[in-house]
Chain A
Amino acid sequence: MAARIHGGAATALSTFNPKKLVAPSRTNLPAAARSSKRCIVAGGGSDASKKSLSVRHSQKLIANAAVATKAETSATTGTGHELLLFEALQEGLEEEMDRDPHVCVMGEDVGHYGGSYKVTKGLADKFGDLRVLDTPICENAFTGMGIGAAMTGLRPVIEGMNMGFLLLAFNQISNNCGMLHYTSGGQFTIPVVIRGPGGVGRQLGAEHSQRLESYFQSIPGIQMVACSTPYNAKGLMKAAIRSENPVILFEHVLLYNLKEKIPDEEYICNLEEAEMVRPGEHITILTYSRMRYHVMQAAKTLVNKGYDPEVIDIRSLKPFDLYTIGNSVKKTHRVLIVEECMRTGGIGASLTAAINENFHDYLDAPVMCLSSQDVPTPYAGTLEEWTVVQPAQIVTAVEQLCQ
């Protein structure tokens, strides 16, 4: 139970009112869980106090919690600052660049233009053109260049303007980024971060709506994480930069303007850990990135109908956090995966296989996976809506599974 608390408290979002969730679930639970739950589900009220409570909880439970170093100062005061997701990414990046002169950024229009999604805004003025490098449009070459620089000890953050463009750099990412540590017998580490927005946006067309996590997931040697809130965006960005392994950080085009209050003190999110968004009893819903919001929207409806879904944002796409997921499956015995990848060969497909393999005995029903359709994303708005999973479908699926 306690394991769920640390690693980032559940975040309060403007669209989500958790008060409705607390009431029906309390009846089924033992006392201990009830009290811990109250502090995780950060209400729409005073976010600051709730967050500080969870922070203090985290401190008690693990000695070296990420926020432990400076938590005393603002945990008690409970201040934080509100910002948008792209600003959180920028903050994380800037803090890491201040901290370590080896961290540099490279990508198209990251410097003078400030980044196509403003993630690197202002950094070129602060750090100079060499540390925030505007590259020509040659994904293969600048990704390879970042990897070559990483072989010598630099820590580049390579931005793909849209994740889909990184398909041109697939060879570099697969062979050189993922495998060099292994084929050199451990001589070279490749501490790069490859980041960029992906996913289905608002009528961006097929080529600009790709979900590359499904293509990259088989590459050995890389880690993949997907951020979904300003809190975990900053935390994952910092952790990815500090990691000695190559990390691909998947952002989503539609989530850049999410607003949230994040702590003032320095914190990091674990790269390999999943986030408990909403604890529950009846069914485990695994999701990540944008689909987390569709799931939470569906959760509102489900709670009204009397269901108690447990929502986990898996965050770590490679490797999967089978510990958190496993604990959840052992409790609820039903799993629904909601993802934005395509049906064939997506993250959901791998996760289904992993859950079946590891937790087969605990399942009361087959693992259900809701994914996008196996089609190129159409331009027309209505068609695009039907391509991705919508909250109504999630509600239907839960009802079906919980029969």
Chain B
Amino acid sequence: MALSRLSSRSTTLLQPLATTSLLRRRHISTDTTPITVETSLPFTSHLISPPSRAVETSSQELLSFFRDMALMRRMEIAADSLYKAKLIRGFCHLYDGQEAVAIGMEAAITKRDAIITSYRDHCTFLGRGGGLFEAFSELMGRTTGCSKGKGGSMHFYKKDASFYGGHGIVGAQAPLGCGLAFAQKYSKEEAVTFTLYGDGAANQGQLFEALNIAALWDLPAVLVCENNHYGMGTAEWRSAKSPAYFKRGDYVPGLKVDGMDALAVKQACKFAKEHALKNGPIILEMDTYRYHGHSMSDPGSTYRTRDEISGVRQVRDPIDRVRKLIIAHDIATEKELKDMEKEVRKEVDAAVAQAKESPIPEPSELFSNIYVKGFGAESFGADRKELRATLP
């Protein structure tokens, strides 16, 4: 059958080419012929007609989904062990289980579209093009980190890829996201802003303020609620009178998406981007799940059963879903995928090792980047020698 033919072909090619993944995909890596896949569930919508369940993708895309999600998963697991080894301190919020949201979103948008999210930002950073080395360095507080070691787990940013972070206070990124959308409208860029928040933040007043503003001025904002059903230890039914977060916008249309299906996420984000550019804000509720607790300080099992976690892992895991799709469409074999995962693991381990060797910030870095010098007087406290103001 097809699979065995592929595997026999692959064994001969695999031996001398153990390292490069590009060759592993052989001729398939250039295959962009569209494959149509149906999403796991139909979309539920509010005040708008939902997009079709049929998503167009390609083998290249599916393989990249698999690889990138495997990379994200591996990174989070490595972060887990680093935290337990006390190399990462403070708060560390892991995203494993929710990778499909980051990946699907990236597939639908460009780097000119802005993304802003909360503190569970490691994978979103990676999706935006951030490097593993920068991520691990930042987590371990080294100067080579994306924020020079001064931000930490909750403050990953990547300006050139329009990734605006990385925010510690729940819900504070919602008004910021509206500001990003406002700037996009002001500068007439044909781009949108994806503002991600969680089911916990969905009860914040500032979210409704931001929603009102965005709807009032037709800002190109897509508000994405990553509903992993738990606001730290409180389940959504215990904190929200109406857990239908996609309907919470009232006058703003909403769409509920299976957040464990990367293709559904991609379809929804594409749809949302088109909508936001023409008609203003839209809410996407991503029904997703996190395997770890809220953060590394939370075991994650006091408010939910281990059966629930393993149940979701067996039935809805995003990486397994893409794996099954890849195998079903004969894009690669199970073994090849496993090899890809091993390779990803090596990549992550290499990045961790490199990051561990990176230097810690100099003491002078304590005072850098507080103010931007340049315009106006230069005053150095009591020892200031001269004073000048210049009109640039």
Contacts and interface: CB of A to CB of B under 8 A. Distances in A.
Do A and B come together as binding partners? yes
Interface of A: 3, 6-7, 62-66, 69, 104, 130-131, 133, 135-136, 138, 140-154, 171-172, 175-176, 180-189, 220-221, 223, 239, 242-245, 266, 268-273, 319, 321-323, 326, 358-359
Main secondary structure of the interface of B (DSSP, over half): loop
B292 to A, nearest CB: 23
A253 B41 CA distance: 59
B213 interface: yes
28 contacts: A6-B387, A64-B390, A66-B389, A131-B186, A148-B175, A151-B164, A152-B114, A152-B179, A152-B187, A171-B172, A175-B168, A175-B172, A176-B176, A181-B370, A181-B372, A183-B152, A184-B155, A185-B148, A186-B369, A187-B157, A188-B157, A239-B376, A268-B376, A268-B389, A268-B391, A270-B377, A271-B376, A323-B384
Given A65-B389, A148-B116, A245-B372, A153 B183 contact: yes
B315 interface: no
A135 B213 contact: yes
A270 B389 contact: yes
A173 to B, nearest CB: 11
A185 B145 contact: yes
B151 interface: yes
B33 interface: no
B85 interface: no
- In this complex, the member of A6, A144, A239 whose beta carbon has the largest number of chain B beta carbons within 10 angstroms is A144
Contacts of A270: 376-377, 379, 387, 389
Interface of B: 114, 116, 145-152, 155, 157-159, 164-169, 172, 174-180, 182-187, 205-206, 209-210, 212-213, 216-217, 368-372, 374-377, 379, 381-384, 386-392
B65 to A, nearest CB: 28
Given A145-B213, A148-B116, A154-B186, A183 B150 contact: yes
A319 B374 CA distance: 16
Nearest to B207: A141
Contacts of B387: 3, 6-7, 62, 270, 273, 323
Closest 3 CB pairs of A and B: A148-B179, A144-B175, A141-B209
B375 A141 contact: no
Nearest to B211: A141
B379 A272 contact: yes
Contacts, number: 206
Given A136-B212, A183-B151, A184-B165, A145 B178 contact: yes
Given A62-B387, A184-B151, A220-B370, A144 B377 contact: no
A138 B171 CA distance: 14
A245 B317 CA distance: 45
B99 to A, nearest CB: 24
Contacts of B370: 181-182, 220-221
Contact of B209 (A63, A66, A136): A136
A147 B173 CA distance: 10
A239 B375 CA distance: 8
B381 A145 contact: no
A243 B373 CA distance: 9
Given A144-B179, A187-B147, 6 more contacts: A144-B174, A151-B176, A172-B172, A180-B165, A183-B157, A269-B389
Contacts of A69: 391
Contact of A148 (B180, B216, B391): B180
Contacts of B174: 141, 144
A239 B376 CA distance: 7
A224 B244 CA distance: 43
